[in-house]
Amino acid sequence: MGERKSAMRREELVGWIEEAARQLKTGALMIDEEKVNVPDEVESSVKKGDKKGRGSLKLKLEWEMEPSKKPEKRKETKRGCCRRRRLGGGSGGRR
């Protein structure tokens, strides 16, 4: 996954944040030439930090990823609950 890190003046930073906000409204951000799709529902947090005489702010955005296209195969056990089938067709458990 891409990461954006650089030094800039505050006015440049404002421009970068405004561009990121414009892209976010469309549902996709470009981070280091990588398109990152962002859903409507997003969890966010901002963390302030101070270390060794330097201040920092960290913005974190998180969301649920779409499940994979192929659901995992499960087979029923003797107890009636399901367990994952091991790759390679092995029994994978007690009999």
CA proximity to 87, closest of 67, 72, 76, 68: 72
* Model pTM score: 0.59
53: in domain: yes
Q: Which residue has the higher pLDDT, 47 or 4?
A: 47
94: in domain: no
2: in domain: no
Return the H-helix or E-strand segment holding 46.
Answer: strand 43-51
pLDDT digits (tens, 9 = 90+) for 46-89: 999 999 999 999 999 999 987 766 656 666 656 655 555 445 55
pLDDT of residue 76: 60
- Name the 3-class secondary structure at 41: coil
Number of folded domains in the chain? 1
pLDDT digits (tens, 9 = 90+) for 26-35: 999 998 889 9
28: in domain: yes
pLDDT of residue 53: 94
56: in domain: yes
CA proximity to 36, closest of 47, 26, 51, 45: 26
Residue 54 belongs to what domain range? 10-62
92: in domain: no
40: in domain: yes
* Per-residue confidence band for 2, with pLDDT thresholds at 50, 70 and 90: low
